[in-house]
Amino acid sequence: MNPEKTQQIRQAIAAGFSQYGMQTFDQSLFHLYTQGFISIQDAIALASRPDDLRLLISGIGSEVGIAVGESSFKTD
């Protein structure tokens, strides 16, 4: 296992949203929150990166490929 390549998996999944429909768990939580299916408290409590999700929700951060036409979020 190459730790350097392992770090790239999350970035590849996040970036593949618009082209392949892939998304990270946190991207899914973000969409569920923005569509009103879950509360902000639940989204943050379940997130793998709560601080990043909190920033994304506040409009400061963004995740690569979060949705077509939306801004992108820096991963590691």
pLDDT digits (tens, 9 = 90+) for 26-65: 989 999 999 999 999 999 999 999 998 998 888 886 654 3
State yes or no: pLDDT of 75 exceeds 50.
Answer: no
State yes or no: pLDDT of 22 exceeds 90.
Answer: no
* Residue with tokens 């879950």, as numbered in its chain: 38
Range of the domain at 54: 3-58
Which has more pLDDT, 69 or 1?
1
Is residue 33 a part of any domain in this protein? Answer: yes
Q: Are 40 and 53 in contact (CB under 8 A)?
A: no
How many structural domains comprise the chain? 1
Is residue 27 a part of any domain in this protein? Answer: yes
Is residue 68 a part of any domain in this protein? Answer: no
Q: What confidence score (pLDDT) does residue 24 get?
A: 86
pTM of the predicted model as reported, rounded to 2 decimal places? 0.66
Q: How many CA atoms lie within 13 A of 9 on its CB side?
A: 8
